[in-house]
Structures are given as C-alpha cells and as structure tokens.
Amino acid sequence: MTNHGQARSRTPAHVLSNGDLRVKIYRNEHKRRYLFNFVVGRNYSEHGTIKFGSSLGEADLEPMRVLLAEAMEWIEKQPRAVEPERLSVPAVPPLEKSRRSLGTPPGKGAIHEDP
C-alpha cells in the first residue's frame, strides 16, 4: 500500500492497543509542521501468520472509541513545529536574503524595500 508514492513500511511514531485492536499513529513533516495520520484495525492470524486488517466487528466499536480518544490525547501533546535542527535548509530572514543577493554583508549598507 502506498501513501503519495511512499511505502507504508515505515515505523509508526506511536501504537495504542487493546487486545487485538490497534491504532498506529504516523508523524509526517509538511511545511515545517508535523501532521499526524493514523491507521486503525486489528491483528488476526491467517495460516499461522499474524496479519493486520482494517475490518472491525460490532463488539470492537466501544474499545476502538476508547483507543481513538487515547490517540487524540497523545497527538495533542506532541509538538507541531519541526525543530530547527531537523530542517534541511536553514531559515533565513527575507532581509538577509536580499543583502546576500546584493553582495552586501549583513549589517552594512541600506536596503530600501518598495512599499
């Protein structure tokens, strides 16, 4: 299964469970912010192999509701801004970019911006 061209084989940021039920939470970076996606389902056994499926039964609704509430609490406690050291390109204020493009060292010369 893919998500915008990326394989879903990466490790979840957090997993909540209740019996065979699971909520897997994935953290994604987008425009210097963290966003969270989650996958809900259950573990089941097929021919001796443990698999993960998204089919839930009626009796699973209440336990899954509790897991989703816990997932929401966990997500709310997470930082939303990407830490500066994780950014691939250092953030440069627009004025500094202008000085560099003019060949003027920071703090030297006057730069006039159009209103």
Domain ranges of the chain: 2-102
pLDDT above 90 coverage of the chain, percent: 56
CA dihedral over 53, 54, 57, 63, signed as positive or negative: positive
Of 64-68, 70-74, 80-84, 108-112, the range with the lowest mean pLDDT is 108-112
What is the value of pTM for the model shown? Answer: 0.63
Query: Which residues touch 19 (CB under 8 Å, ≥6 apart)?
Result: 63
Question: What is the tens place of the pLDDT at every residue in 19-37?
Answer: 999 999 999 988 889 999 9
Confidence of residue 107 (pLDDT cuts 50, 70, 90): low
User: How far apart (Å, rounded) are the C-alpha atoms in residues 7 and 11?
Assistant: 11
Which of 22, 20, 26, 23 is CA-nearest to residue 3? 26
CA–CA gap between residue 53 and residue 40 (Å, rounded): 8
Q: What is the pLDDT of residues 24-75, one digit of tens each?
A: 999 998 888 999 999 999 999 999 999 999 999 999 999 999 999 999 999 9
- CA-based torsion, 17, 78, 36, 76: positive or negative: positive
Mean pLDDT of the chain: 79
